[in-house]
Amino acid sequence: MHISVRGQGPDLVMLHGWSMHSCVWSELAEALTSRYTLHLVDLPGHGQSDWEPGAFDIESLLAQLGRRLPQTAYWVGWSLGGLISLAYSDRFPERVNKLILVATTPCFIKKEDWQSAIQDDVLREFSDKLAHHQKDTLQRFLILQARGAVKSRETIKTLARQLVTQGPANSEALIDGLSLLINLDLRLALSRLKCPIKLVLGERDSLIPHTMEADARSLNSALEVVLIKGAGHAPFISHPVECEQAVMTFFESEKSR
């Protein structure tokens, strides 16, 4: 697993979302390097990380992250990276000082008792089409992430440009990553999390309805929430200043574990 380390200060781990890689954090990472030692992870089969079958088995993935990352750190995860960060925080609670989940939900799929989510057939369709139409499927997903948001065209162009810097992810890694999004339900993990946690949502996110905020608060009343007006699924790209503020104010506050 490739992990780029840069900056100075307290350790901060950053996990990207599905189909992307650590370069997606470039603008936010640049703003943070003077204050934090960043550990920019490329998930298996993404970016500069090699792929091995089974690498997205959640227990194996968490164990590998545990071996490669600092004993204690701040964490930021986006979308799939946020889901994995939440699982890591539940598995190794003593190793996560504070956690920020960007455009992340503990349960991506709509259920009878969890309505602020997406239908599972949306992600299953992506999975079915990847084998024969990977390029078109990834392009559709880029559009979906910015659809309806402020600066949607600019966001799509930025995501597309960053995607090609390392090339597309391994097709098996993409399918297994979607499987995590479909099958992981971490609502219990969120409810028992003790470290300070902040949720950063986009007002116009077409994948994670901002109404999920109320459901998330019902699971963990200590949860802090920031709703970024006009943002879609990649608020750190469309609204970098607001995201930087959300990170800085949370990590640098005096609130302890």
pLDDT, one tens digit per residue, over 74-132 is 999 999 999 999 999 999 999 999 999 999 999 999 999 999 999 888 888 888 888 77
Residue with structure tokens 């920019």?
A: 40
Query: If pLDDT is split at 50, 70 and 90, which confidence band does 250 have?
Result: very high
Provide the pLDDT for residue 143: 84
How far apart (Å, rounded) are the C-alpha atoms in residues 103 and 36?
22
Give the strand order in the sheet containing 96-102: 3-7, 37-41, 11-15, 73-78, 96-102, 197-202, 224-228
212: β partners? none
CA distances from 36 to 74, 194, 231, 235 (A): 9, 23, 26, 21
Domain residues of the chain, as ranges?
3-251
Q: Is residue 23 scored above 70 in pLDDT?
A: yes
**How far is 207 from 128, CA to CA, in rounded Å?**
18
Which strand (E) or helix (H) includes residue 134? helix 134-146
SS3 state of residue 88: helix
Per-residue tokens: 24: 């997606």
Identify the pLDDT of residue 256. Answer: 40
pLDDT, tens digit (0-9, with 9 covering 90-100), for 154-190: 888 888 887 777 778 899 999 999 999 999 999 999 9
In the set 16, 21, 233, 239, the catalytic residue is 233
Let me know if 239 is a catalytic residue. Answer: no
Q: Which CATH architecture has domain 3-251?
A: 3-Layer(aba) Sandwich (3.40)
* The pLDDT of residue 123: 84
19, 22, 79, 85: the catalytic one is 79
Is 34 a catalytic site residue? no
Which of 178, 83, 109 is closest to 138 using CA atoms?
178
pTM: 0.93
Mean of pLDDT values over 147-152: 81
Burial of 67 per CB tally in 10 Å (0-12, 13-18, 19+): exposed
Of 71-75, 137-141, 204-208, 244-248, the least confident: 137-141
**Any catalytic annotation for residue 39?**
no
Mean pLDDT value of segment 139-144 = 84
User: Which helix (H) or strand (E) element contains residue 66?
Assistant: helix 58-68
Phi, psi of 15 (to 5 degrees): -115, 125
Q: What is the mean pLDDT of the chain?
A: 92
The residue among 113, 139, 136, 96 whose CA lies nearest residue 219 is 113
pLDDT at 127: 81
pLDDT band at 254 (very low <50, low <70, confident <90, very high): low
Which of 89, 205, 215, 239 is an active site residue?
205
Q: Which of 24-38, 166-180, 213-227 has the lowest mean pLDDT?
A: 166-180
